[in-house]
Chains A and B, each alone.
Chain A
Amino acid sequence: KAGVTQTPRYLIKTRGQQVTLSCSPISGHRSVSWYQQTPGQGLQFLFEYFSETQRNKGNFPGRFSGRQFSNSRSEMNVSTLELGDSALYLCASRVSGVDTQYFGPGTRLTVL
């Protein structure tokens, strides 16, 4: 089975712009979660989607949003980018009812 894939792998944006990141989960995995990884704050949970519905949300401002499509693929959007949004954004998928999460390679976002 193919693993979790994320596109693009690298992205450079400027302050004030918006960005959309994409995640394709492992086949058969209907739960997709997003995490932000920074050197200062470490790995922090953003949100989880299951069956196109947001199930949980972390402590991030409303500029961070996401969605999930009927094929379980997910996108996250960050509007009005700030320098502090520079991070590795990781997507993880799992089978509903099983705790094990499988992470993708991440999208490295740099905000200038």
Chain B
Amino acid sequence: QQQVKQSPQSLIVQKGGISIINCAYENTAFDYFPWYQQFPGKGPALLIAIRPDVSEKKEGRFTISFNKSAKQFSLHIMDSQPGDSATYFCAASPSGYSTLTFGKGTMLLVSP
């Protein structure tokens, strides 16, 4: 199976709060897991990515947590800001391939 399941579909968080988006995958050949952020009218932009040999990766306010045994990974946005309001996609692919399989996306709204 090539699916990547993402939840929730939409999320409303207050300014300063923590936004959490979860993804699960089935294909054990996946070993590259990026998160993309997309604003209306724009293409997806890479936020942060992780590989299975690391359980957590942090870049600024964005953290990926990875659970290899459960085949799950999640994005945490700390101190969420209204400018973070966008659609977030998790994705996965075998390393060295461009064949990203995307989750369905999470529409995040950060209220002021």
Residue numbers of A with Cβ under 8 A of B are: 4, 31, 33, 35, 42-45, 48, 55-56, 58, 90, 92, 94, 97, 99-106
Contacts A94-B98, A99-B95, A100-B49: A42 and B43 contacting too (C-beta < 8 A)?
A: no
Q: Cβ of A58 and Cβ of B49 under 8 Å apart?
A: no
* Most chain A C-beta atoms within 10 Å of own C-beta, residue among B42, B46, B98: B98
Chain B residues touching A, range: 20 to 34
The answer for the CA separation of A94 and B93 in the assembled complex, in Å, is: 14
Residues of B within 8 A of A42 (CB): 89, 102-105
Instruction: Tell me if A's interface is mostly helix, strand, loop or mixed.
Output: strand
Interchain CB contact under 8 A, B96 and A43: no
Max chain A Cβ within 10 angstroms of own Cβ: one of B44, B49, B97: B44
Do A48 and B44 have beta carbons less than 8 Å apart?
no
Asked if A101 and B100 sit within 8 Å, CB to CB, the answer is yes
* B43-92 contacts to A (CB < 8 Å): 43-46, 49, 89, 91
CB B98 to nearest CB in A, in angstroms, measures: 4
Residue contact A106 to B101, C-beta cutoff 8 Å: no
